[in-house]
A and B are shown apart, each in its own frame.
Chain A
C-alpha cells in the first residue's frame, strides 16, 4: 500500500513536470516530490511496523526493512536539498547557455523518475528486481550527466553507461548462480532476499563464492570500486553539481547497498572468510588508487570525486571486518559520507558558477578571493574538507575511528596501510584547499571578477548539510543507535 503512495506521488510529480511551463514549476514539482517522500519515510519509521513483509505491500517482490528505509531516508534528504539547490543552479546554467531551456523537461522528468526508481530499488525484496532498478538508475542518471551542452558530457555518460551496465550483466549471471544454488538446495528457486537469508546456512561455499564474485563485479562498478572506478571521476566532474551530489551521495550507496545485502547472505555461509579477504583487498586497492589520484589533483570537483572513491573503499574494508560493530559503523559512514559529500559538491557548484566564465572545462581551477566572493561556498569546502578527511566534531571522524579500531582486531597490517593512505588523502585535500583558497588577487585586478549573486536557495543546502553533519558528529541519540542496531540485527550479523 505504502509503495503505491510513493509511485502515485512520483507520477503526480512527473505529470506536473510534463504540464509545467516554467522552470520554477518543474523545479517545485521535484522539491515537492522529494519532500513528500521524506515525510512518507519518516512516517514509516514512526509507524513502527518494520520490517514490513509481503503481507502489507501485497506481493513477494517488495518489502520494507530498516536498511532499505535508512537508505531511502538518506536519498530523500539529499534529493530534497539538491532540488532546492537546482532552482538557482539550473537557472544559471541556462543563462550561461550550458543547458538549453528545451531540455529542462527531460532534465526534471529524469530527476523525478530517478528518485522513484531509487526508492523502489531500496524496497525490493527480490534481488533480480533490485538489479533491474539499479540498472535503471544507471541509465537515468547517465541522462542527467549528458544533459549539458557539451560533447565531453556525452562522452562521460556513455563511458558511465557502458562500464556500469556491462559489469551489471556479470552481476546478473551471479544472480542466476544464486537462484540455481537455492533451487538445488531447497527445490524451488528464489531470489527473495528474506528467503535466501533463511536458507543461506546450507548453501555450498564454492558456488556461493562464485556467485558473490560475479555479483560483486556489477555493484562494485556502480559504487566506483577499483578497477571499475574509471567512469566515476569523469561523470561526477562533467555532471551539473546538483547531479554530482546525487551521484555521489545516493547512487554510490545503491551499489554498496547491493554489496551489503549479498554479503549478508554470504555471511551466513562458510564462504565468509574468503569473501572477506576479497573485500579487504579490493577496499585497500580502491583507497590506494584514490589517495594517489587525489595527490596531484588541480580540479576541485575531481578531487571530491576521487574522495568518494576513497570512501567507498573504506566502506568495503569495514564490511570485510564483518563484526556487528563494524557493520554498525559502516552504516553510519554511509550516511556521514553521503551528507558530507553532497555538501561539498554543492559548494563546488557555487564556486564553479562564480569562476566558470574564466575557465574552460578542462582548465585548472583558478580561484581567487574565494572568501570575499563566495563566503558560504568557501567555508562549505573548508569545513566539508575537514569533515571528509575525518576531523573530530564531524561524523566521519567517528565512523573512521571506530572502523579503524575494528580493523585493528582483524588485520593490523591492513590497518597500517589504510592509515598511511588516509593520511595521504587528507593531505591531498588539505594541500589543495590551502593552495587554492589563499590566492588573493592584487587590488588592481580585483575589478575584473564579477561577483556571482548566489541565490539563497543555493547557499541554504550547504548550510543545512553543514549543520546536519555537525549535529550527527556531536550528538548521537539513542533512537539513532537503536535504529542502526536494528539494521545490524536484521542483516543477522
Chain B
C-alpha cells in the first residue's frame, strides 16, 4: 500500500492543478486550448479519484474514475474539438459583463467566501476533516468559476465548456463530501453527453446561416433524408 501521507500531499497538488485550470478557462481567449485544458482538468479529477481510492478502497471511486476518463477526457473533448473545427472559430474574444481580470479577482473572492460559508455549515459534521473539507471548497469554487464562464462568455461553445467545468466541480464536491451511489454518477454523465451534443450542434446553427445549418445537420445525420418539400 502507498503511504497515506504521500497520497494526501498528491491530492493537495492536484487541488492546485484544478484551480489553475479553472483560472485558465476563465481567462483564455483561445478556444482550441480551452478544450485541452478542460480535458486536463478532467484528468486531474480522474487522478484524484484514484488517489482517494488508494486511501479509502471504495470501488465506487474506481468506477467513477473509469467513467470520467472515458467520457470527459476522451469523448466530450474530442466531440467539441471536432465541432470547433467545423465551425472554424478559434478565438472567443467577446465577454459579456466581466473581463478576464475581474473574473479572476472575483473567483479569488469566491473561494474565500465558500471557505468561510462551508466552515460554518459543515461545523460539527464528520466532513469537517481537513482534506475532505478542502475538496468541498475546491469543488464548489470550481463550480462557481464555471458558472462565471457560462454567463460571461457570448459564444455558446465557451458556455458549454463553462458548464462542463461546473459539472467537474460538482463531481469533485460529491467525491469529497460523501459517497454517492455509482448509478447516479453514471446517469449524470449520460445527461452531460446529451447536453453537450445538443448545445454544440445548436452552436453550429448559431454560427452559420440557416441553409448552411441545415446542410450541416445533414452531415451529422441528425435529420433524415426524406426532405421532399411541399
Contacts and interface: CB of A to CB of B under 8 A. Distances in A.
Interface of A: 21, 94-95, 97, 100-103, 105-106, 126, 128-129, 132, 135-136, 139, 142-143, 146, 149-151, 154-155, 157-158, 161-162, 165-166, 169, 172-173, 176, 179-180, 183-184, 189, 191, 206-207, 210
B202 A101 contact: no
16 contacts: A102-B214, A102-B223, A106-B223, A126-B184, A129-B187, A132-B191, A135-B191, A146-B202, A158-B199, A166-B147, A166-B151, A172-B170, A176-B173, A176-B174, A176-B177, A176-B180
B38 to A, nearest CB: 16
B172 to A, nearest CB: 11
Nearest to B199: A161
Contacts of A173: 140, 143, 170, 173
A298 to B, nearest CB: 27
A207 to B, nearest CB: 7
B184 A132 contact: yes
Interface string B173-206: 1100111110010011001001100110011011
Given A161-B199, A165-B195, A184-B125, A149 B223 contact: no
Given A129-B187, A162-B150, A162-B159, A180 B173 contact: no
Given A132-B188, A154-B202, A155-B206, A169 B121 contact: no
Interface string B189-230: 001001100110011011000100010001000111111111
B136 to A, nearest CB: 9
A194 to B, nearest CB: 16
A189 B126 contact: no
Contacts of A126: 184
B121 A151 contact: no
B97 to A, nearest CB: 14
B163 interface: yes
Contacts of A150: 210
Interface in B110-151: 121, 125-127, 140, 143, 147, 150-151
Interface residues of B, number: 46
A95 to B, nearest CB: 6
A173 B167 CA distance: 10
Given A101-B230, A166-B147, A180-B178, 11 more contacts: A102-B214, A102-B225, A102-B226, A103-B223, A105-B226, A106-B222, A142-B198, A143-B198, A172-B170, A176-B180, A206-B121
Contacts of A136: 191, 194
Nearest to B226: A102
Nearest to A150: B210
Given A102-B223, A176-B178, A180-B125, A161 B195 contact: yes
Contacts of B218: 102
B223 A100 contact: yes
Contacts of B52: none
Contact of B210 (A102, A143, A151, A191): A151
A165 B180 CA distance: 20
Contact of A158 (B156, B210, B222): B156
Given A146-B205, A166-B150, A101 B229 contact: yes
Contacts of B222: 106
A165 B228 contact: no
A103 B217 CA distance: 10
Contacts of B228: 101
A210 B150 contact: no
B166 interface: yes
Given A136-B191, A179-B180, A166 B210 contact: no
Contacts of A129: 184, 187
A91 to B, nearest CB: 10
A100 B227 contact: yes
A95 B229 CA distance: 9
Contacts of A143: 198
A16 B163 CA distance: 35
B180 A151 contact: no
A184 B122 CA distance: 11
A104 to B, nearest CB: 8
Contact of A139 (B174, B195, B214, B226): B195
A70 B194 CA distance: 29
B214 A100 contact: yes
Nearest to A167: B147
Contacts of B170: 169, 172-173, 176
Given A132-B191, A135-B191, A169-B143, A207 B121 contact: yes
Nearest to B123: A206
Contacts of A166: 147, 150-151, 163, 166
Given A102-B223, A106-B223, A169 B167 contact: yes
Instruction: Count chain B CB atoms within 10 A of each CB in A95, A102, A165 and give the residue with the most.
Output: A102
B210 to A, nearest CB: 6
A44 to B, nearest CB: 25
B126 to A, nearest CB: 6
B202 A157 contact: yes
Contact of B178 (A21, A103, A162, A183): A183
Contacts of A102: 214, 218, 223-227
A21 B226 CA distance: 8
B215 to A, nearest CB: 11
A143 B202 CA distance: 9
B148 to A, nearest CB: 11
A69 to B, nearest CB: 23
A346 B168 CA distance: 41
Contacts of A101: 226-230
Nearest to A207: B121
Nearest to B214: A100
Contacts of A142: 198
B198 A128 contact: no
The 8 closest A-B pairs by CB, nearest first: A102-B227, A102-B223, A180-B178, A128-B184, A132-B187, A154-B205, A135-B191, A176-B174
